[in-house]
Structure 1
Amino acid sequence: MSELVTLDYNQKKQARTAHNIFNLNIILVHLFGVVILFELHLIHWFWVIPFLSISIMLFQYHHWKKLFSNHEAHWYVVSNWGLAVKHNRIVFIAYLVCGSIFLTGYTVTNSLASDPNMGKIGMMVFLYLSGNLMLISLVVTFVLSSGAIWHTNKGEVTRALEKIRVRLSTPTNS
């Protein structure tokens, strides 16, 4: 199963912080941000959602690199930050896939539809397709991150953390 590691409170807190930031990004930016923009009829400001989210992701990535270069940081903390970066990577790939679906739909519906109403209907289909795909990826990564918080509270080393630990301990040839 999973092994237990003896950690003090600060190490558990540092390891848990990465997942807490990720979950707050999902809840505050993606959930409440979208609802607020819809309620205020600010659909043209939707670019703020990925901008804020990617900014938070970049912060987490840079902090993980800083921890990685700091040889005094505990491997468990660095591995948990690496796991959060992995979850961020899944969300970023979902952004790319959903954005390309949306742009493809926008291009196809605006160039092939002679009737503007048919173009709007086609655009809504692609919008719902890309939005639901993004929602599924956000829910899956939120559940993964919540599970990581639970394991971190117990001080458990899961297979995902063990894989990251092995990658961190192997020297690179660059």
Structure 2
Amino acid sequence: MQVELDKYTADKAKTPHNIFLLNLALIHLLMTPATLILEIGITGLLVPLIFSLAIMFYSLTKSRNLQAGDHWFIHAHWKLALNRYRLLLISYAVTAGLMTLGLLLSTASPDPNMQDILHTVFIRIAIMPTLLMVMINFFLESSALSMAAKGEIADSVIKQLPLAVKPQ
């Protein structure tokens, strides 16, 4: 759906996507590889996760604090960003599951060297779902940022809006 917007509304609609892209760029594409290179271990991977979850919580809080008088287009773009955060959270869960599996398999091995090898291999494999979702979300959010600037939104997102903020 194409909507005629003033600059203020378009800028406010871009805000959730800017926050999301900042999360992806700073936390996932810079901080997470840094913790891997520094070989801090699994606890080092918790630092980017905590920062990312804090940004997600901030976005959730900010979206819930939108005023009823705000343009429905702004609500729609916050909803779109929150839906994409859900995808990222699912990838976190898959990564956590794979890391747990790797931890269980590595502790089952009697050889300490094999434990270390399995542990390292599973960490590298477990990070892949999150890395792929980060790349997918980077593409989706860049596209959504462009759509917000042009005054566009998918009809499927409008259907998910609460009745109080839906367009007439």
Aligned partner of 2:71 in structure 1 is: 74
Aligned partner of 2:19 in structure 1 is: 21
Q: Is the 8 A contact 1:83 1:164 kept in 2?
A: no
2-side partners of 1:84 and 1:147: how far apart? Answer: 12
SS of the aligned residue for 2:65 comes to helix
Q: Residues 89, 126 of structure 1: CA spacing in aligned structure 2 closer, same or farther, 3 A cutoff? A: same
Q: Is the 8 A contact 2:28 2:48 kept in 1?
A: yes
AA in 2 matched with 1:55:
A
Q: Is the 8 A contact 1:98 1:131 kept in 2?
A: yes
2-side partners of 1:105 and 1:40: how far apart? Answer: 20
SS of the aligned residue for 1:53 comes to helix
SS of the aligned residue for 1:157 comes to coil
Number of equivalences = 164
| CA deviation profile, 1:37-74 (whole Å, cap 9, x unmatched) | 3454544432110000000000000111111xx21011
CA RMSD, 1 decimal: 1.8
Q: Is the 8 A contact 2:13 2:74 kept in 1?
A: yes
Q: Is the 8 A contact 1:83 1:160 kept in 2?
A: no
Aligned partner of 2:56 in structure 1 is: 57
Q: TM-score, normalised to structure 1's length?
A: 0.86
The answer to whether 1:9 aligns with 2:3 is no
The answer to whether 1:93 aligns with 2:93 is no
Q: Is the 8 A contact 2:76 2:153 kept in 1?
A: no
1-side partners of 2:87 and 2:127: how far apart? Answer: 15
Q: Once the 2 structures are TM-superposed, how far is the Cα of residue 91 of structure 1 from its aligned partner?
A: 0.8
Q: Percent identity?
A: 28
Gaps of 5+ in 1: none
Q: Is the 8 A contact 2:102 2:122 kept in 1?
A: yes
Q: Residues 24, 63 of structure 1: CA spacing in aligned structure 2 closer, same or farther, 3 A cutoff? A: same
Q: Is the 8 A contact 1:7 1:155 kept in 2?
A: yes
SS of the aligned residue for 2:4 comes to coil
Gaps of 5+ in 2: none
1-side partners of 2:16 and 2:2: how far apart? Answer: 19
